[in-house]
Structure 1
Amino acid sequence: MKLIVKTPLDLEDIAASRILEIDPSVKLIAKPHGLKGLIVIESCGDEGRLKEIISREVPEVESIIHVDEVVEARLEEIVQAAVKLAKDELSDEKCFAVRTVRRGKHDFTSLDVNSAVGAAVQAETGARVDLENPDVVIRVEIIFDKAGISVVEGELEWRKMGPGKKLSASTFRKISVVQMPYLGSMEGAREIGRRIGRAVQAYEVGELVIAPNKPVNAFELEAFIAGIREGIKSRYEVQKKTYSRRVECTRVLVQDLYQLVRERRGEPIIVLEPEGLQVRDALPKLRELFSRKHRISLLIGSREGIPKGIYRLADLVLDIAPGITLSTELAAPSALATIYTALNISGED
């Protein structure tokens, strides 16, 4: 076991074929033990050079792990090998993390490996554990009866939350999306509602206010609200399963648009309409509005735009895509992404 190559599921044979084209002398196993997304290179010439060429020439490959040591898949042997390798890379001035992927049946879990290796390496080197931004990563890849161990620089890891990144949730929790309802056919209203619900929950905005500006058909509004609820629920359930942090569920209100604007005078109000300023010109005002402690109401039209009389009461009228009319279900997520990106680039938290 010289290199462990990971691919998207069902692309193992294609990636293996490309590797053999690069070096016909390579001995490899695609889908060892039927494991999808995996190729094990058992022997090759220059491992470092092959890894470099694969990284450059085979986009079907997502990651390549150079195996420094192969041992039997027994916990004590894994710990001994990891400590031996780590001694040359770590000191009490560095930090590390252990990442284990276990495939097959064993009398220990991946967490057991992480814990045992981490404790032994820490005791031997004095290095501290840092799971978020480690200087060094000890990777343990267990494939049934064998374990491949490697030590790599932490900066080579792809991480969702790398150094310098800040969680965006606090910005979106300040926002109240005020959406005029999409009405018409019952199924159309419900489907657009689902899409908007999923979108606002994806960003975990503080609240969504469904705001008609005049009397509307009750049954069409009911369908739209039902879709909103379905969309929020479906996305929220996915987030709870995949996020390690607490997930906030967007609350949903119904209020007349004019009454909402009257009630929120004194709070920042942004209208999203084509008559507004482009983002570049609006950026100073956006910064000022988001620097306040208040919630920020983002008003979005539907088949009809936001009534122009409300423009006079808004702090800002914003056009995020001059010359383009956004469909109702795209308006909220497009505006949220655009505003956050603009503030982030400008240095706002």
Structure 2
Amino acid sequence: MNKFDLLITCPRFKERDASAEVKYFLAELGDEEAVAEPIGMPGILACQTKIDPMEVIELLKGYIEDNLVYFQYTLRYIPIQVVVNSTIDNIVDAINELKNRIKNKDTFRITIEKRHTHIDRNELIKDAATVITNKVDLENPDKIILIEIVGDKTGISIIEQNDIISIPIEKREGDFEEEDFLPY
């Protein structure tokens, strides 16, 4: 998939079940044409939706409140704002396009998830950090520059810490019994 709006993680070998789950939830949220498919790496799906990825996250947060027990196969929902070919120059250019999402007083952190790539993490961080002049805060940043490298494609977002949905954390923090969920 050359363009995706969300990366979704799931247990290995549960990609097909997770794909069906994602399509069902997105249909419930208003996109019956969403596509969620494995990308050839265990435990990862790429999803295209007509709904803005940040709006999907907000809608899912509300949906989870009443439907958490139905999240059986998906683990994390990660919004992606821009997709580029996986080169340092392309990634830095994309960050430059998105940097207006960071206000002057916001602190930031760069988080990189690398899968199936030889891009040097330190070189990427050094080059990406030159685009943003704000103060760095590794522990509690106002904004996170999220770089998700998945082979020859990279998804980039500038998000806040609560913009990634973690179903296991939601289940731990919820008021549920363990038997409410399917074991896998």
More helix by share: 1
Q: SS of the residue aligned with 2:130?
A: helix
1:154 CA drift (Å): 3.1
Instruction: Give the Cα–Cα distance (whole angstroms) in 1 for the partners of residues 115 and 136 of structure 2.
Output: 25
Counterpart in the other structure of 2:174:
none
Instruction: Give the Cα–Cα distance (whole angstroms) in 2 for the partners of residues 73 and 15 of structure 1.
Output: 26
Q: Which moved more, 1:16-25 or 1:70-79?
A: 16-25
Counterpart in the other structure of 2:13:
10
CA deviation map 1:48-94 (0-9, x unaligned): 55444555242532221221111111101101111221223231x22
Gaps of 5+ in 1: 159-349
Q: What RMSD in Å do the two structures reach over aligned CA positions?
A: 2.3
Counterpart in the other structure of 2:123:
112
Query: Quick one: which amino acid aligns to residue 79 of structure 1?
Result: V
Counterpart in the other structure of 2:157:
150
CA deviation map 1:210-248 (0-9, x unaligned): xxxxxxxxxxxxxxxxxxxxxxxxxxxxxxxxxxxxxxx
CA deviation map 1:76-121 (0-9, x unaligned): 1101111221223231x22100011122233x22232222212322
Contact 1:101 1:110 (C-alpha < 8 Å) held by counterparts: no
Which of residues 28, 36, 55 in structure 1 aligns to 2:36?
Answer: 28
Q: Which has the larger radius of gyration?
A: 1
Query: Quick one: which amino acid aligns to residue 116 of structure 1?
Result: D
Q: SS of the residue aligned with 1:140?
A: strand
Instruction: Give the Cα–Cα distance (whole angstroms) in 1 for the partners of residues 13 and 35 of structure 2.
Output: 20
1:155 CA drift (Å): 4.8
Contact 1:118 1:129 (C-alpha < 8 Å) held by counterparts: no
Per the alignment, do residues 120 and 47 of structure 1 end up closer, same or farther by CA in structure 2, a change over 3 Å counting? closer
Per the alignment, do residues 16 and 152 of structure 1 end up closer, same or farther by CA in structure 2, a change over 3 Å counting? same
Aligned-pair identity in percent equals 21
Counterpart in the other structure of 1:100:
112
Q: SS of the residue aligned with 1:14?
A: helix
Which of residues 41, 46, 50 in structure 1 aligns to 2:51?
Answer: 46
Per the alignment, do residues 50 and 87 of structure 1 end up closer, same or farther by CA in structure 2, a change over 3 Å counting? closer
Query: Quick one: which amino acid aligns to residue 78 of structure 1?
Result: I
Per the alignment, do residues 9 and 68 of structure 1 end up closer, same or farther by CA in structure 2, a change over 3 Å counting? same
Contact 2:21 2:74 (C-alpha < 8 Å) held by counterparts: no
Counterpart in the other structure of 2:172:
none
Contact 1:135 1:155 (C-alpha < 8 Å) held by counterparts: no
CA deviation map 1:142-190 (0-9, x unaligned): 11111110010135469xxxxxxxxxxxxxxxxxxxxxxxxxxxxxxxx
Structure 1 residues 169-248: aligned runs within 5 Å? none
TM-score by length of 2: 0.70
Per the alignment, do residues 54 and 7 of structure 1 end up closer, same or farther by CA in structure 2, a change over 3 Å counting? farther
1:21 CA drift (Å): 2.4
Counterpart in the other structure of 2:84:
71
Gaps of 5+ in 2: 166-184
Structure 1 residues 246-265: aligned runs within 5 Å? none
Instruction: Give the Cα–Cα distance (whole angstroms) in 1 for the partners of residues 19 and 60 of structure 2.
Output: 10
Contact 2:34 2:49 (C-alpha < 8 Å) held by counterparts: yes
Per the alignment, do residues 114 and 60 of structure 1 end up closer, same or farther by CA in structure 2, a change over 3 Å counting? farther
Per the alignment, do residues 133 and 157 of structure 1 end up closer, same or farther by CA in structure 2, a change over 3 Å counting? farther
Give the length in aligned residue pairs: 149
Instruction: Give the Cα–Cα distance (whole angstroms) in 1 for the partners of residues 58 and 142 of structure 2.
Output: 22
Query: Quick one: which amino acid aligns to residue 102 of structure 1?
Result: K
